[in-house]
Amino acid sequence: MKTAIYPGSFDPITNGHLDIIKRASELFDRVIVAVIKNPSKKSQFSLADRVEMIKKCVPGVIVESFDGLLVEYARQKGAKTIVRGLRAVSDFDYEFQMALTNRKMAPTIETIFLMTDYRYSYLSSSFVKQIAALGGDVSELVPAPVAKKLKKRGE
């Protein structure tokens, strides 16, 4: 059974994330979407909200939260692969650093990158939050339950 972990903040999940989850699910027997509990990164949605939104959007996929070292979490889950998405060149530096650091700590765990679909190359959670905060329509950018939640927040 080949398990992959797709970790991220998912604050909130967007159509870009969804696309990565769907494509990773074609490659692995089991994909665990792992929501990072990162106290140093301020998030708009609580950990529980972020997990719940993903569960609503991708039924059948395992969604969990975790804190501590990602490679430790992956080991616990029996996962040999970490999946990340890549958009523009601007993602590269951070992802490169993270992948090499994780490899240093856990040489048997591989990070693989799925290139974004051209439809989502500009799409980020922070962009979505900014648009929603200004009263813009995000229904084309995020799954329906997320759009609903963002709209509720703005009211």
Nearest of 51, 14, 53 to residue 32 by alpha carbon: 51
Q: Which of 10, 45, 66, 73 binds ligand ADP (CB under 6 A)?
A: 10
Q: Which residues contact 49 (CB under 8 A, 6 or more apart)?
A: 12, 149
User: Does position 84 bind ligand ADP by CB under 6 A?
Assistant: yes
* 87 among known catalytic residues: yes
Q: Is 119 labeled as ligand-binding?
A: no
- Taking residues 15 to 54 in sequence order and writing x for each that binds ligand ADP by CB under 6 A, - otherwise, the string is -xx--x----------------------------------
Q: Are 85 and 119 in contact (CB under 8 A)?
A: no
For residue 67, the SS3 value is: coil
Q: Which of 28, 45, 61, 85 binds ligand ADP (CB under 6 A)?
A: 85
Q: Which of 125, 147, 149, 150 binds ligand ADP (CB under 6 A)?
A: 125
CA distances from 15 to 20, 60, 71, 85, 119 (A): 9, 17, 26, 12, 9
- Contacting residues toward ligand ADP, per CB under 6 A: 8-10, 14, 16-17, 20, 84-85, 87, 91, 116, 120, 123-125
